[in-house]
Amino acid sequence: MSRLRASARSGFALLIVVTLLAFIVLLLVGLAAYTRIETSVAGNTQRQAQAREHALTGLQVALAQLQRHAGPDQRATANAASFGGVNGTRFYTGVWGPDGTGPLTWLVSGNEFATAPTGSEQPPALAVTPASAPPPARAIDLVARGTTNTTNRAQFVSVPLQDLRARGLPGSPNADATYGRYAWWVGDEGVKAPVAVPDTSGTLTAAPYDSADLRGRVRQHLAVGAGAAGTNGSPVFEPRDANNAPLVAGDRVLTASQLGFLRNSGNGQLGHPLQRANYHVWSPNNLAVLADSRRGGLRQDLSLAPGLLGSAFVAWTNYPAYTESTVPVDPETVDPALAAIAPPAILPAYGSDPVRRRLRITPPLLGEGGAHQIAPVLSYFLLSFNVRTAGDTAAARPFELAARWLVSLWNPYTSALVPENLRLEITGLPRTIRVVNVQGESPVPVGSFSVQDESVFGSPPIDPDLAERPLIINLPWTPDGASADRQSWLPGRVYTWRSVTDNSQPERPPETGFASQFYSRTLDTTGAAAAVRPLPLGEQLGSDNHVLEVDGADRVTVTVYLVPRTGPDEPPAPPIKLATYISPEFVTSFASSPQAARQTSTQFSYVFRLAESIDTPAAPGRWLTTSGLDPRRRRLPGEAFVTGENGNDPSLYVNYRTISAPDRLLDRGEGASDRSYNEDVPVFELPRAPLLSLGATQHFRLPGQRPFMVGNSWGFGQELNGVPVGELFDRYFFSGVRDGFTPGVAANGDLIVPNPLLRTVRWYEPGVGYRKPTTDDLRATVEGLDPAGAVGAADARSSRFFLQAGAFNLNSTNVAAWAAVLRGVRFPAPQTFRYLSLSSSTGVPSGDTSVATVQSTNAQFLRFSQTAQETYQADAGRADPAGSAARTELFRRGMRTLSATETGVLAAKIVELITARHGEEGPFLSVGDFLAPHPRYAAFDAEGGEIPRSLLEAAIAETGINTAVAEIDPEAKVQLNSQWLTQGDVMTALAPALFARSDTFTIRAYGEAVNPATNATEGRAWCEALVQRVPEYFDPPTGNGDLTGDAAEVLPENLTSPLNLANGRRFRILSFRWLTQPDL
């Protein structure tokens, strides 16, 4: 017992020691644990930092690949959806090179190591293609549910992981080991519809946009951003409505996620789920470099240098030169000495508003493949002759020749014209008329004469080169001071003159021509209203029957002259030739029916009129779709006309007075009800403001061709000033900064140019640095430019200062995106159309003008993008007579409205055809490529003849959206009333927006940190960048002794910097953000 106690006592020291040691151990363990936690925290932070670095590596690789492959101008981009893409790869972005080589690459991780075979022009063998998704174990989803709000992998993007390896890492000092991975994907924003583009037209204040009306019309000229739609074409939201307009103003929507903050029609937020569901459909805005993807180089500005397309184009676009510059004249204030030359007072409907001023009749100008003139067109011609004895008596009297005429001229334009006095020079009249007395059993020749004799109707020719003496008649414009109908030559309106009684019979015809009566188309009384000339045939009994044996030319030629106004003390100015019209072929020799010599009924007549729909019911569009028969032609051939209802034998038109043909488009009565706009047929538009869309040049005339050459497939193959028409859309653009226009400057220094889609970008001025362009900078691009268009030192490439907003890659195969883009022109806010409506009883406008208001989110395609206001009102059916087959209303509306359903159907068909094209030939490489006719889309006429068509034309035709607006035959292939949607109309809206490539991309990159010893992933990071291609080259000139850089306007073939040859134009990161996994 005591030993035990002793033993316990002996362990006391040990116990103390052990206790102390345990305490120390606990302390050390605690400290170690603490340190381990801290080390672990630090380690995690370090590995996360590594993952971020690897993600940035992926981003940099992606940017480099994008720069290398998509930096040069001559590239096209498209999604893989139509190139064999499968789940996970459909949204890979492919890049194709010049002439369609490629794809050069698919912009996803794994392809950065692909190199072209040495000495080969072939694209490199690519490690990653969209044909198969990368194996899941070696791939990462960079677009998934968090981005698209769906678990459907068809919407996902899966890309291969790339190892980052090194030797000598801890755990494997002598072998390569993986210390990290990265992955990246370049998403094409340009194939999405830009649905948050603001309408900036309201900021325009400089003349001529000091008119609210003209500012408002800008949104008719071109598509100001897409209108979000579903695949069925139904609107989803409207960025320009009252709720959203302030939210999208100033390009406020910076990221796609902010689209969810916009408002629906009920002013509720769209919501993030909807935005995510449309991730592949919508982008806020896409910006494009104004470059030529086919030939390379920046586009040239036709507003600054219209001479690039020739002198006629200059004249056509120079609207101030032919726009009436006066204001309505108050007779009380006019100097009496000037009263005669002052413009006639006009009623309020026309003239006071700059956008409604009348245009001046202008002589033809042909130059460099184009033509410009403003002149009325001969639409009806009747010239009747009556050889008779004077006095309408049975007694013997001398012979005389009476001539009666009716002439109708048509204003084919959508603008009112300043009326002028006109003069007609008519040739091809009978050279010999033999008068034969058939009263007895045997015919007895009385004598013969020529109408062209100077003692008959042969006047000195106006045209000195004319070989014969013409009949000259005057067509005076005599306003009555009350009716607006007679104050101006109203848009699309036909006016008629008739001969007046002229028995003066001087020795010779008046040199200045016979008089006519304006505003009358009645020849009701036999023998009345005739110009009468004595004939040197002696006297005959008026009761004897006679016949006329006529020999003449086969065609009558009518040349229209403008009689210039001159002051009261000035000598008459020589008439100005406007146009020549050649009749159809007539029988050259014929004999009239016997008729008593005293009879005043005309014995023969030359009758012809402009051929139109009714004349070719199986091909109603023929009058506007036949080469060489453009009614505006300076010398319109006989094929453009048809003879009267009795054929081409003038003798079959005895005492012919019929002019009325109610089923004709161009038949206009002059009764009370015919003063309605409902009779007008406008077909062509003349600029009355700066042009903003190349599509609007469809109204420019190419000599000898059919109308609407630019933008439609039939224009391809033609040239304008040496430029193939098919290349116009890729080589040029309109800034709207035409001669005389001075852009405003916004508070931030941006130029306010008429084209609302242009965004100014800073440019690098060597020796100065980056700065915003000024008006002088724009003008400097055309200083010294040859007006005829030859490009010298100046290059008219103001495109170096701009990016184009609202851009859309036409290689997109997304139906909803196309539907949204097709809705580019729409009127979510009320758009007013002030049209002239005359009282049918008085001819006076009721009030100033009548106003129609359109408020619709349906897609609008304007044929008359600048002037639809004036002709808009289009009531179905003709007023007089009711039931006329002439569908004049189809011509007046000036724009075609597609319903949501029609828009969706058209979008689906376009995508179907694009997808087929991609599968067969690859992407479109240029806008011209897209618009060009191709055998794949050809139609066939009744005889099996091929009618070339483009993809867009085929899509329009195959969807049948024009069936309801056919003039006569719904099966007709092409008609050109303004309701009949054409490719040119689509391009009027979309030309500024369509490109064959994208310049805005989203890069998503992923990085992970890997433990080289365990190969375990210990850190992950995702990032995203929005990148934008800009006009400046990758290596711009700095002006600091660096001679290698190239200015933005340098063409690809003239680049001096190898960096620029390889990398093209610079991509810049616009925004960057780190993502979380739920964001994906």
Partner 1 sequence: MSPQLPRPRPRARAGFTLVELLVAAGITTFMAGFIAVIVMNISANASRSSSRLGADAQARLILDQIERDLQGALYRDDGNVWLAAEVLNGASGGATGLWQIAPRNPKPVGGISLALNTPSITDSRFGTAGVWLRFFTHGNSVTNAALDISVPSAPVAVGYQIIRRYTATNPANLETAYLLHRAEARPLLTNSRPGVFESGYGITGTAYTGGGNNNSNVTGDPRTVLVPGTTRVLDAVIGDNVIDFGIRAYARDATAPGGLRLLFPATAGGALSNTPLALQSRLPPGTPATASTYNRIFPDVIDVMVRILTDTGAEQIANLERVQTPALTVPQRYNGNAQLWWWGVAAENSRVYIRRIVLRGGAL
- The residues that touch partner 1, with contacts defined as CB under 8 A, are 2, 5-6, 9, 13, 16-17, 20, 23-24, 27, 31, 34, 38, 41, 45, 146, 247, 250-252, 254-255, 257-258, 260-261, 269, 272, 275-276, 287, 746-750, 759, 761-762, 764, 768-771, 803, 1025, 1028, 1030, 1040, 1068-1076, 1078-1079
- How far, CA to CA in Å, does 656 sit from each of 258, 405, 1000, 1039? 73, 10, 69, 81
Residues forming beta bridges with residue 636, ordered by sequence position? 581
Phi, psi of 354 (to 5 degrees): -55, -35
| Nearby residues of 502 by Cβ (< 8 Å), 6 or more positions away | 514, 515, 530, 531, 532
Least Å distance between CB 253 and partner 1? 8
Q: CB-wise, 7 or 442, nearer to partner 1?
A: 7
Least Å distance between CB 1019 and partner 1? 13
Least Å distance between CB 1026 and partner 1? 8
Q: CB-wise, 64 or 916, nearer to partner 1?
A: 64
Q: Are 194 and 992 in contact (CB under 8 A)?
A: no
Region at 162 (left for phi over 0; alpha for psi -120 to 50; beta for the rest): beta
| Nearby residues of 28 by Cβ (< 8 Å), 6 or more positions away | none
Least Å distance between CB 626 and partner 1? 48
Judging by DSSP bridges, how do beta strands 758-760 and 370-374 pair with one another?
unpaired
Q: CB-wise, 256 or 956, nearer to partner 1?
A: 256
Q: CB-wise, 63 or 314, nearer to partner 1?
A: 63
Q: CB-wise, 260 or 534, nearer to partner 1?
A: 260
Q: Which helix (H) or strand (E) holds 547?
A: strand 545-551
Least Å distance between CB 728 and partner 1? 27
Can you tell me the distance from the alpha carbon of 656 to that of 150, in angstroms, rounded to the nearest whole number?
A: 76
Under DSSP, is residue 66 helix (H, G, I), strand (E, B) or coil?
helix
Judging by DSSP bridges, how do beta strands 859-862 and 895-898 pair with one another?
antiparallel
| Nearby residues of 68 by Cβ (< 8 Å), 6 or more positions away | 1062, 1063
Phi, psi of 669 (to 5 degrees): -75, 180
Q: CB-wise, 300 or 1028, nearer to partner 1?
A: 1028
Closest CA to 952 of 975, 970, 972, 927: 927
Q: CB-wise, 10 or 1014, nearer to partner 1?
A: 10
Least Å distance between CB 1002 and partner 1? 13
Q: CB-wise, 165 or 772, nearer to partner 1?
A: 772
Q: Are 582 and 465 in contact (CB under 8 A)?
A: no
Under DSSP, is residue 427 helix (H, G, I), strand (E, B) or coil?
strand
Least Å distance between CB 254 and partner 1? 5
Q: CB-wise, 25 or 964, nearer to partner 1?
A: 25
Can you tell me the distance from the alpha carbon of 781 to that of 299, in angstroms, rounded to the nearest whole number?
A: 12
Residues forming beta bridges with residue 365, ordered by sequence position? 372
Q: Using the CB atoms, write b or e for 977-989: b if 16+ within 10 Å.
A: bbbbbbbbbbbbb
Q: CB-wise, 21 or 131, nearer to partner 1?
A: 21
Closest CA to 112 of 133, 101, 126: 126
Least Å distance between CB 88 and partner 1? 21
Q: CB-wise, 23 or 940, nearer to partner 1?
A: 23
Looking at residue 426, its amino acid is: I
Q: In what side-by-side order are the strands of the sheet with 1017-1033?
A: 162-169, 172-188, 1000-1010, 1017-1033, 1065-1075
Least Å distance between CB 990 and partner 1? 23
Neighbours of 850 (CB within 10 A): 17
Largest alpha-carbon pair distance within the chain? 186
Number of helices (H), then strands (E), in the chain: 19, 52
Q: CB-wise, 84 or 146, nearer to partner 1?
A: 146
Under DSSP, is residue 531 helix (H, G, I), strand (E, B) or coil?
strand
Least Å distance between CB 68 and partner 1? 20
Q: CB-wise, 8 or 212, nearer to partner 1?
A: 8
Q: CB-wise, 145 or 973, nearer to partner 1?
A: 145
**CA distance between the termini of the chain:** 79
Least Å distance between CB 32 and partner 1? 11
Q: Is 967 exposed, middle or buried (0-12, 13-18, 19+ CB in 10 A)?
A: buried
Least Å distance between CB 703 and partner 1? 42
Chain length of the chain:
1080
Q: CB-wise, 954 or 1025, nearer to partner 1?
A: 1025
Q: CB-wise, 10 or 120, nearer to partner 1?
A: 10
Q: CB-wise, 274 or 548, nearer to partner 1?
A: 274
Q: What is the DSSP string of 320-340?
A: HHHB-------GGGS-GGGTT
Can you tell me the distance from the alpha carbon of 871 to that of 894, in angstroms, rounded to the nearest whole number?
A: 7
Least Å distance between CB 1001 and partner 1? 14
Count the alpha carbons within 13 Å of 1049 in the hemisphere toward its beta carbon. Answer: 20
Q: CB-wise, 833 or 1067, nearer to partner 1?
A: 1067
* DSSP 8-class letter at 986: H
**Three state DSSP letters for 477-509:** CCCCCCCHHHCCECCCCEEEEEECCECCCCCCC
Least Å distance between CB 18 and partner 1? 12
Least Å distance between CB 1038 and partner 1? 8
